[in-house]
């Protein structure tokens, strides 16, 4: 259900604290899905479509801000974006925290800020700072295991709320390392306090993910991001005991495709008549942003003869 915008304190104030729903999604017995969002509007659309939880994607947030997914966006820009997202929805948000924006101290600072702004969990990947998007290029140097475990422990200790979820992301397969190294890293990150392991792959099939899942043997929930192996049916993940699938960048990519198509048509046709049936109506936009709540509030709080917005 969309946020009840009749609650004024939820309109703009970063008043949410983590609740247990993200933990239930990721650690529960059923396969769950997190949908990518990168701003308040995409978050509200994903919630209204029926998603129970959101992925605040680093790639998508960077892209919409005009940055490359290589820590060009500052941690505070990410926190501000997440705050707008959280304010727009009632479903929990897992935030892509990249590698934590530095060492253990930066990681715990960002996680704490995100928790204060209402995020329900963070995902930290075992790379250095700056990181590079996992699908770009061949150089993906991994963090030392002990040092990364320190980052995880610092986040766990830094956010006092036990409902806050910590996902550790293993990039060993992205970096071309062995499955054994991926398993060893995952075991160390679990020991360091992670609630779940995100095992990432950029292969076109799910083979290495499924092999990892079998070898992992359900030691803790597994999260996957099937951006490249998108042809695999989710039933396969259910059978493999995967906990959560993240559809990681598809709102952002849908927006790119739709905006490109509309811009090209308006330029070519020198008219907006042709695209009108294909774009969202203004009433849909006003509905998404709760304009009706504002007019109810005006009736409540403005003198009867005051000018209205």
* Residues near ligand SPV (CB under 6 A): 57-60, 69, 96, 133-134, 225, 227, 248-249
- How many residues bind Mg ion, per CB under 5 A? 3
- Tell me which of 32, 36, 43, 58 binds Mg ion, using CB under 5 A: 58
**Residue 197 beta carbon to ligand SPV: minimum distance, rounded to whole angstroms:** 14
**Residue 174 beta carbon to Mg ion: minimum distance, rounded to whole angstroms:** 11
- Of 17 and 133, the one with the shorter C-beta distance to ligand SPV is 133
- Of 189 and 290, the one with the shorter C-beta distance to ligand SPV is 189
**Is 80 an annotated catalytic residue?**
no
- Of 3 and 155, the one with the shorter C-beta distance to ligand SPV is 155
**Residue 164 beta carbon to Mg ion: minimum distance, rounded to whole angstroms:** 19
Question: By Cβ distance, which residue is nearest to Mg ion?
Answer: 58
Q: What is the distance between the alpha carbons of residues 125 and 148, in angstroms, rounded to a whole number? A: 9
Residue 48 binds which of ligand SPV, Mg ion, none (CB < 5-8 A, kind-dependent): none
Residue 225 binds which of ligand SPV, Mg ion, none (CB < 5-8 A, kind-dependent): ligand SPV
DSSP secondary structure, 102-166, as one string: SSHHHHHHHHHHHHHTT--EEEEESB-SS---TTSSS--PBPPHHHHHHHHHHHHHH---TTSEE
- Of 58 and 92, the one with the shorter C-beta distance to ligand SPV is 58
- Name the one range near Mg ion by CB under 5 A: 20-28, 60-68, 90-98, 264-272: 90-98
- Of 3 and 35, the one with the shorter C-beta distance to ligand SPV is 35
Q: Which residues pair with 165 in a beta bridge?
A: 121
**Is residue 36 near Mg ion by the rule CB under 5 A?**
no
* 119 prior amide bond cis, ω within 30: no
| First-last CA distance in the chain | 27
**DSSP three-state, residue 89:** coil
- Of 3 and 189, the one with the shorter C-beta distance to ligand SPV is 189
Q: What tokens were used for 109? A: 């600072």
**Is residue 96 near Mg ion by the rule CB under 5 A?**
yes
Nearest one of 28, 19, 17 to 196, comparing CA atoms: 28
CA distances from 81 to 43, 65, 74, 117 (A): 11, 10, 11, 10
**Residue 240 beta carbon to ligand SPV: minimum distance, rounded to whole angstroms:** 19
Residue 249 binds which of Mg ion, ligand SPV, none (CB < 5-8 A, kind-dependent): ligand SPV
Burial 279-289 (b: 16+ CB within 10 A, else e): eeeeeeeeebe
CA distances from 64 to 34, 69, 257, 306 (A): 19, 11, 13, 38
**Residue 167 beta carbon to Mg ion: minimum distance, rounded to whole angstroms:** 12
Q: For residue 15, what are the contacts with CB-CB under 8 A and spacing of at least 6?
A: 9, 118
Q: Are 27 and 196 in contact (CB under 8 A)?
A: yes
Q: What is the distance between the alpha carbons of residues 174 and 138, in angstroms, rounded to a whole number? A: 9
Catalytic residue (choose from 69, 96, 98, 126)? 69
**Is residue 100 near Mg ion by the rule CB under 5 A?**
no
**Residue 145 beta carbon to ligand SPV: minimum distance, rounded to whole angstroms:** 20
**DSSP three-state, residue 242:** coil
Q: Which residues of the shown chain bind Mg ion in the complex (CB under 5 A)?
A: 58-59, 96
Active site (catalytic) residues = 69
């Amino acid at each position: 259900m969309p946020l009840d915008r009749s609650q004024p304190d939820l309109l703009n104030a970063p008043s949410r604290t983590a609740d247990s729903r993200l933990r239930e999604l990721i650690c529960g017995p059923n396969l769950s899905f997190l949908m990518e969002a990168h701003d308040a509007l995409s978050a509200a659309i994903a919630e209204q479509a029926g998603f129970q939880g959101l992925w605040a994607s680093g790639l998508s947030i960077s892209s919409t801000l005009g940055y490359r997914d290589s820590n060009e966006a500052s941690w505070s820009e990410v926190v501000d974006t997440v705050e707008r997202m959280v304010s727009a929805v009632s479903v929990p948000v897992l935030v892509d925290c990249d590698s934590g924006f530095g060492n253990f101290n930066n990681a715990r600072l960002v996680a704490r800020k995100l928790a204060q702004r209402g995020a329900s969990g963070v995902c930290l990947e075992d790379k250095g700072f700056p990181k590079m998007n996992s699908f770009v290029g061949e150089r993906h140097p991994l963090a030392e295991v002990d040092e990364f475990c320190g980052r995880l422990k610092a986040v766990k200790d830094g956010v006092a709320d036990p409902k806050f979820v910590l996902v550790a992301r293993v990039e060993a397969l992205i970096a071309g390392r062995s499955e054994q190294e991926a398993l060893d890293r995952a075991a160390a990150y679990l020991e360091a306090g992670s609630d779940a392991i995100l095992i990432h792959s950029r292969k076109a099939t799910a083979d290495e993910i499924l092999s990892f899942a079998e070898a992992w043997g359900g030691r803790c929930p597994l999260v996957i991001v099937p951006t490249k192996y998108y042809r695999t049916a989710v039933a396969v993940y259910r059978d493999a005991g995967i906990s959560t699938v993240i559809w990681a960048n598809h709102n952002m990519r849908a927006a790119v495709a739709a905006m490109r198509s509309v811009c090209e048509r308006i330029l070519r046709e020198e008219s907006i008549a042709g695209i009108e049936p294909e774009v969202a109506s203004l009433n849909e936009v006003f509905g998404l942003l709760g304009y009706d709540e504002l007019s109810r509030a005006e009736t409540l709080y403005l003198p009867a003869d005051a000018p209205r917005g």
